[in-house]
Structure 1
Amino acid sequence: MFDHVLKFTNSTSFINALKVTIASVVPVLLFHFLGHFEIGFTIALGAFFTYPSDIPSTLSHKIKGLIVASFIVSGVNLLVNFAYPYPFVFYPFLGFLLFLCSMISVYGQRATLVSFSALISISLSFGHLHKGWEALEYSGYIFAGGILYLIVSLVFHFIQPYKYVELQIAEGIKLTAKYLKLRGDLWSPEANRKAIIEKQLNLQVELNLIHEDLRKVLIGNQNSSINSQNRKMLLVFITLVEIQELALYTSFDHSKINEKFDKHPDVLRTYQNVAYKLASTLKKLSKNVHSISVYVDKNDLKNELDALEFAIFDYEKSLGKEKASEGVLMLTNMLKYAKNQVSKIKIIQRAFSLAMQSYKLKDKDKELEKFLTPQYYPLNTLIENLSFSSSIFRHSLRLTITILIGFILGIFLPFQNVYWILLTIVVIMRPGYGLTKERSYNRIFGTVLGGLIAFGIVSVIQNHVALSIFSIICMLLGISFTQINYKISATFVTMYVVFIYGILVTDIVEVIQFRILDSLAGAILAFFANQFLWPAWEFINTPIHIENAIRANRNYLKEIADFYNKKGEVPTSYRLARKHAFVEIGNLMTSFQRMMQEPKSKQKTLPLVNKLVVLNHSVLSALASLSTYIQSHKTTSASESFNYIIKTILLNLDHSIATLKNQTILTDTFFDKEDLTLQFEEMKRKSFTRLASDDELDKETRQAKMQEAQMVIEQLIWMSNLSEKILKITQDFKAIHPDN
């Protein structure tokens, strides 16, 4: 129990919640002591409005982002107060302001969170309307709260500048360990491979998010920081990405392999033990990121590798060299990849030891910067999204209309606090139907549960000091759980609100009743708006994600083929293509998950999308396998057959993209299936004949060349089959979904 509490309090969610809680509580306590509670509360609101935009970034971007967020949340509050006394101006102006604040989401993650903060500020402004100088003064206090939060955030940063990175690295290592564990599960003959692959894809989505955050912080800090800690963490991050790519190597046709080694299950079980040991080593490492001081090799991994080598030797001995040759090649390749994985894990272990404190990257800072998404905000981006083809435009319009309806209902019907209706709409309404539906349910559940629990506590305890302590704890926990579990978050936030009102008013029952009623009204409005006002059904966006995933894999294959032909150093374009392939597969999986949350009538293509997710993931697995092999081995020259087969795979993927885009495919661009089969046979025959007849090669070199030939041919055959299936299913998909 204590370990779970310690883990929670050491998480990024809790630390972020702690920052905003401190920035909110300190001014309230200070100004309450000075007899100006309202000023302190307003400053606390400013801190609360600003904190969502405090996302992972460089220090410079953090400061600029929080200052801009503070200015926007205070500015919109001031504009609402100035316009409110003039009804004929106010309503159209409010609609325009809501729409504009929603539309700034087109500029990325930070802009989306600033947009959210601005909408919250507009909603809550109706709870404290002011005129003239008071309005300007009130807005100034909100801005001061934002700056106070910035100061608190900077204090946390300078006390532990790498705390966030360490936590994210630890989480990344833990998720990578889970990924390796799942790869090991695939080797069980009775394994449910479909379920395992789905879990892997879910992990891929989580890892993509962590990797993107780490890129922003670590790579973005390269120019401004010479701290060796930053470079060590960057080394660990790069190695983690490589481990994940290596992990995809085990994505073979497991049914075929289990059938081949059916009479020798021990050898596969031994390899599975190696996979599990790799996972458990990483898992232990994730728990000790902060405490590792000296790297100690306990030879655990070496023992597992030795056991696998012995199992291969035993397998060869039992069957005879000639009969076992193909199986030995497979197993030897698996062993080499396991050794490569071990060496990667040791890099991470050493990175946290004293021996690596002076580690420096090899002057590739400028190259690394290419992995970051550029941050700029041209007006054209906003203008281009002002059409119904933009999902953000439709969501902004939907959200604006819903808030205006909620505002009008709140004024003309006997609701106590109209801003609670607006706040509920802003908090739970999302572009997608499924997430809005889920958050509506969680909001209502949390509000009712939190209201009942808080009412029970307030009924027994009327001491203001005790209620203040309870409110601070509930605020801290409510914000901590916002990203982890929204149902729990809504429960604690409701308790916090009730405790505050328990201090300020006497009729707490009426407060709870109206809190529940207002939340219910807001949730219902949001739910129906998302269903009937230009709904953003996921099947509309899915073709784009499918196309992007296929194109990313296609570009990654092209980079691999170019590298195999040219050899030399791995170019940055190669690593960028790899990054995009991983990201787009994650995006496709996320789109599939959103589609699963929507009504059955909107899921006509769901089975085909599921197949395309799995097939594209399998292509990425094959690409990763081929990629890691050619990077870690001295390979032979690419043959004409190799390039012909690569061309046909690329052609299949190009045809798939053209199908999704409703483009005409020229008949003369199709390849001959029989010719492709002949090319595979020719490639295999030439490779093995040449190696067998070359007397100048020693045994070890000949075996290495044969491994390369088998490895490359197997992956090409697999990718060729996968690309054909992708083309066939995209054609079936377009038959059901003719319009993008």
Structure 2
Amino acid sequence: MNYSAELKKFVTSQYVYSAIRITLATVLPCLVLAHFGILKEYFLFPLGTSFVALCDQPGPFIRRRNALTFAIFCFAVVALIASLVMNFKVLVILEIIIFGMFFSLIGVYGQRLAAVGSLSLVVMAIFIDGHLTGGNIFKSLMIFSSGCIWFLMIFLVVTTIQPYKLAGQMIGENYLQLAEFLKIKANYYQKNPDFDRLTTQVIAKQVGIKNLQEETRETVFKTRTIVNESTTTSRLLMLMFLNSMDLHEKLMTSESDYQKLQQSFEDSMILVNIHDYLNLLAEEITNIGISLQIGTRAKPIFDLELELKNLNHHYYELRNKQMTPGNLENFMVLRQILMRINEITKEINEIYKVFSQDVKLAKSLSTGLDLKKFMPNEEKLNFKVLRNNISLSSSHFRHAIRITTALLVGYLFSMFDFLGLGHTYWILITITAILKPAYSITKKRNLLRLYGTIAGAVIAYAILHFVHFNGLLFTILLLSMIMCFSFLKGRYFWAVLFMTIYVFLSFNFLNPGNVDVIFKDRILDTIIAGVIAFAVSYIVLPVWEHTQNLDLMKKSAADNLIYFESVISKFLHGDFDIEDYKVKRKNAIISLANLSDNFQRMISEPKNQQKKLEVVHQFVATSHLITAYTASLSQYSKNNEKYPEVDAESWSRKIEAEMQQTSVLLNGNEITEALKMESRLEPEDSSIEDMLMKRKTEIGENDLVDRRDPDKISHLTELKNIHDILELIYDVTKEQRKVIEKYRSEAEPTPPQS
């Protein structure tokens, strides 16, 4: 592992940058207040700052600004009402029900408002018993609201000074994810690979790439200064992002029959050479990603031209020594893989070229695409959307009921005085943090929260026991805050660990010598909240992932069919609409990632809810292969070559018939005889076989010419590869249809025996 690169990736990421901004925005006022000796009295100011800061989700400037403004309004209203009714238990319960339902339901409008809703419930928990507000309610509210507004001001200043910073970091992260994806793909070429494990890793990485691409699309395509291409930086960022998506597709086209490949070349070093070269390419992509995150121009690390020349040399030497009529087709497959590697190398060199454009050249850069077509779909902010989700058939409504129930149970539990709990609002905060719409995520966060809290509490206790120098304690506090906010999105255990440390240190600064009470309360409250959240998520209107499988499989099958149709159209009609193709490619990848993500969550659910797990897993795997093989076929749609030898019409009808059969079965209908007949068509590709036999005869007669042009590939090799890809797509679609037949047979009850 390249530890230097890993450290740079982390330090230059949007998460660390955002964490430092939040930490400074929170801590600087604390230093001023501490200087005047009023920090304890004005403690709600930095608390408000940190709450609003956590609502700042990546995205276009206008949406972020509006969300922060809405968050401040919600926080102020919630804090006011909670403070006014805290002495009336019946009204507090009514408050929990109304706020719990409303702030959970606004999650229907997307992650940004879901974050505002969750933090609003945390604000309610803070103010629910007056523990932190003191006697003067309105003064406390003014201090808290001022802290909220302070972060909004910081946000406006920073985004004005650095309008492209977030977009650059997110696009850079796209490249870093692609580098990790390529490293996984490279492992298929190492000695004795674990194919099942690698396939699982590839599918999981596809989910991460899809989620990040969706977030980046919203940030880039809805940021006015970038879309209007008004500056050199905006044009370069737009093109770098679009290039990252094209690179993603090129990495997907490297799908092959890896097991057959390993068997064919197990006695040579060529596959290991490919593995090593792909890792070099991954390092170059990482270098591009880090440079984008920093905001500097990237320069190549390796001499790729020399490295690629060496790789091709190894191939040609092996070819000249070992190629025979019997293994010709194996060498054709290997030659095609090297051609794809050559194209990926060219793409990376092109990205470096775009990255190093001078100002005059950059002004002429343009995407030529209708960017609105690439935007992620999202619910519009109107009351109708909210009203339509007030139903038990809505997963959002069921989640709202669960979280409201859990908050009520947590509040009632905290009223038992015999437990001697000193910070009961921690129970409600922890419930809000743990309880998520998906049972699997709730289960995972529950355990991570518990382990992180215990580990963080032990470390914090040790720090406070052995360290008595306030300067060092303050430094640890700062670092803990930065690490907490940096890890909050991706590594929840570490986020909770560092959060617990900085909470302990914060309370120690406010009330020294009270660490034993905080230690006991923090762990006890976390355990109580965890038990409540787990029980409610399992008992109260749970939404199990298997109930989503059918709809997601229908969507994935339909989008894969449309994607294939857009690619095969070039072979059928000779025309190819690149923009239409890219939209359909995006939809197919998103549908596949959503299905894969749902399957991964289902694995973490109780065994009795893992319905048809093996069958769904087979469908996910076959869907992945169909998407990848279609991407491989697309490389022949984009060039100007003609392939009349391929019976494209028969292949199109044959493959589409199999795909349509899968969709028919998923919709609960019966397959027609017409579709069955279409799927049995035999394409007229005999001319390709004839050409192949002729070539084998030539090789048998020692007519082997030592051609060494890595940029050119024989027409026969291309034809053979197109034929093989179409055959692979057909075989996988046929396998997928059989998987759904099995799925349906398991779903239908067995008729009683007479």
Match of 2:518 among 511, 524, 548: 511
State the SS of the aligned residue for 1:15. helix
Counterpart of 2:241 (choices 237, 240, 254) is 237
**Distance in 2 of aligned mates of 1:477 and 1:132:** 31
Distance 1:709 1:219 in 2: 38
Q: CA deviation at 1:642?
A: 2.0
Q: Distance in 2 between matches of 1:257 and 1:191?
A: 12
CA distance in 1, matches of 2:300, 2:470: 54
2:666 alignment partner in structure 1: 660
How far 1:424 sits from its partner (Å)?
Answer: 0.8
CA contact (8 A) 1:236 1:347 kept: no
Instruction: State the alpha-carbon separation in 2 of the partners of residues 488 and 574 from structure 1.
Output: 41
> Structure 1 residues 194-203 or 307-316, which shifts more?
307-316
Q: Which residue of 2 aligns with 1:671?
A: 676
Aligned pair in 2 of structure 1 residues 589, 124: CA closer, same or farther (>3 Å)?
Answer: same
In structure 2, the CA distance between the partners of 1:653 and 1:145, relative to structure 1 (3 Å rule), is farther
Compute the displacement of 1:538 (Å): 1.9
Letter in 2 for 1:13: Y
Query: In the TM superposition, what is the alpha-carbon distance from 1:67 to its structure 2 partner?
Result: 1.2
Once the two structures are TM-superposed, the CA of residue 557 in structure 1 deviates from its matched residue by: 0.9
Deviates more, 1:308-317 or 1:571-580: 308-317
**Residues 1:73 and 1:332: Cα distance change in structure 2 (over 3 Å):** same
Say whether residues 1:368 and 2:374 are aligned partners: no
Distance change (3 Å), C-alpha of 1:319 and 1:84: closer
Match of 1:418 in 2: 424
- Is 1:561 aligned to residue 565 of structure 2? no
1:18 is aligned to 2:23: no
What amino acid is aligned across from residue 725 of structure 2 in structure 1? Q
Shift of 1:95: 0.1
1:486-565, aligned counterparts within 5 Å? 486-505=492-511, 506-565=513-572
- The whole-number CA distance in structure 1 between the counterparts of 2:570 and 2:172 is 33
C-alpha distance in 2, partners of 1:682/1:479? 62
1:420 Cα shift? 0.8
CA 1:659 to 1:478, structure 2 compared with 1: closer, same or farther past 3 Å?
Answer: same
Whether the 8 Å CA contact 1:75–1:139 is kept in 2: the answer is no
What is the alpha-carbon distance in structure 1 between the residues aligned to residue 363 and residue 161 of structure 2? 24
Is 1:725–2:735 an aligned residue pair? Answer: yes
The residue number in structure 1 matching 2:29 is 27
Alignment of 1:225-374 (within 5 A): 226-261=230-265, 265-289=268-292, 290=294, 293=297, 299-305=303-309, 307-308=311-312, 311-312=315-316, 315=319, 319=323, 326-327=329-330, 329-355=332-358, 358-360=361-363, 363-364=366-367, 367-374=370-377
Q: Deviations over 1:344-403 (max 9, x none)?
A: 001121233254774257654661232112553122222222222222211110010110
Give 1:44's aligned residue. 46
Q: 1:374 to 1:143 in 2, by over 3 A?
A: farther
For residues 490 and 702 of structure 1, the distance between their equivalents in structure 2, rounded to whole angstroms, comes to 55
Q: Shift of the alpha carbon at 1:207?
A: 1.6
CA RMSD of aligned residues (A): 3.5
User: Compared with structure 1, are the counterparts of its residues 424 and 252 closer, same or farther at alpha carbon in structure 2 (3 Å cutoff)?
Assistant: same
CA distance in 2 between counterparts of 1:6 and 1:163 reads 16
Return closer, same or farther for 1:297/1:419 CA change in 2, 3 Å cut-off. closer
Match of 1:443 among 449, 452, 462: 449
Task: Note the residue ranges of structure 2 that are not aligned, 5 or more in a row.
Answer: 697-706, 750-754
Q: How many residues align?
A: 728
The 5-angstrom pairing of residues 6-405 of structure 1 reads: 8-34=10-36, 36-37=38-39, 40-128=42-130, 135-188=137-190, 190-221=192-223, 222-223=226-227, 226-261=230-265, 265-289=268-292, 290=294, 293=297, 299-305=303-309, 307-308=311-312, 311-312=315-316, 315=319, 319=323, 326-327=329-330, 329-355=332-358, 358-360=361-363, 363-364=366-367, 367-374=370-377, 376-405=380-409
Q: Which protein is richer in helix relative to its size?
A: 1
Determine if contact 1:27/1:40 at 8 Å carries over to the other structure: no
Contact 1:43 / 1:144 at 8 angstroms: preserved in 2? yes
CA deviations 1:134-154 (Å, max 9, x no partner) are 545544443332322122233
Residues 26, 147 of structure 1: alpha-carbon distance in 2 compared, 3 angstrom cutoff? same
Deviation (angstroms), 1:690: 13
The amino acid of 1:162's aligned partner reads Y
In 1, Cα distance between the equivalents of 2:295 and 2:375? 30
Contact persistence 2:392–2:398 (CA under 8 A) = yes
Higher relative contact order, chain-length normalized (CA < 8 Å, sep 6+): 2
Alpha-carbon contact 1:688-1:709 (below 8 Å) kept: no
What is the rounded CA distance, in whole Å, between the counterparts of 1:37 and 1:242 in structure 2? Answer: 53
CA distance in 2, matches of 1:180, 1:374: 28
Name the amino acid aligned to 1:48.
S
Match of 2:703 in 1: none
Distance 1:123 1:623 in 2: 51
Shift in Å, 1:580: 1.7
Matched, 1:483 2:489: yes
- Distance in 2, matches of 1:523 and 1:159, equals 42
Tell me, in whole angstroms, the C-alpha distance in 1 between the residues paired with 2:453 and 2:134.
36
* Residues 653 and 727, structure 1, Cα contact 8 Å, conserved in 2: yes
Q: Once the 2 structures are TM-superposed, how far is the Cα of residue 235 of structure 1 from its aligned partner? A: 1.7
In 2, are the aligned partners of 1:173 and 1:285 still within 8 Å (CA)?
A: yes
Aligned mates of 1:702, 1:64 — CA distance in 2 = 54
SS of residue in 2 equivalent to 1:679: coil
Contact 1:273 1:304 in 2 (8 A): no
Q: Deviations over 1:76-120 (max 9, x none)?
A: 222323344554444234302210100011111212111111111
Maintained 8 Å contact 1:410/1:417? no
Per-residue deviation, residues 36-65 of structure 1 (Å, max 9, x unmatched) = 435642222222221222122122222222
Residue identity in the other structure for 1:528: A
CA contact (8 A) 1:467 1:500 kept: no
Which of the numbers 709, 723, 726 marks the counterpart of 1:713? Answer: 723
Percentage of identical aligned residues: 22
Rounded Cα–Cα distance in structure 1 between residues aligned with 2:622 and 2:687: 25
Q: Alpha-carbon deviation of 1:225?
A: 5.3
1:274 deviation in Å? 4.2
Amino acid at match of 2:94: P
- SS, match of residue 422 in structure 2: coil
Q: TM-score, normalised by structure 1?
A: 0.89
Q: Decide which moves more: 207-216 or 498-507.
A: 498-507
- Identify the range of structure 1 (24-33 vs 114-123) with the bigger mean alpha-carbon deviation: 24-33
Q: What amino acid is aligned across from residue 420 of structure 1 in structure 2?
A: W
638, 660, 663: which one aligns with 1:631? 638
CA distance in 2, matches of 1:324, 1:633: 30
- The separation in 2 between residues aligned to 1:283 and 1:426, in whole angstroms, is 36
Q: How far is 1:236 from its partner?
A: 1.9
Q: 1:483 deviation in Å?
A: 2.3
1:458 to 448, 464, 470: 464
User: How far apart are the structure 2 equivalents of 1:459 and 1:314?
Assistant: 67
Q: Distance in 1 between matches of 2:12 and 2:491?
A: 17
Name the amino acid aligned to 2:558: R
Alignment match, 1:598:
605
The change in CA–CA distance for 1:247 and 1:465 in structure 2 (over 3 A counts) is closer
Q: Report deviation, 1:647.
A: 2.8
SS of the residue aligned with 1:184?
helix
- Matched-pair contact (CA < 8 Å) for 2:105–2:396: yes
Distance 2:478 2:287 in 1: 35
Q: Distance in 2 between matches of 1:278 and 1:252?
A: 19
Deviations 1:495-527 (A, max 9, x none): 222223223334331232122211111111001
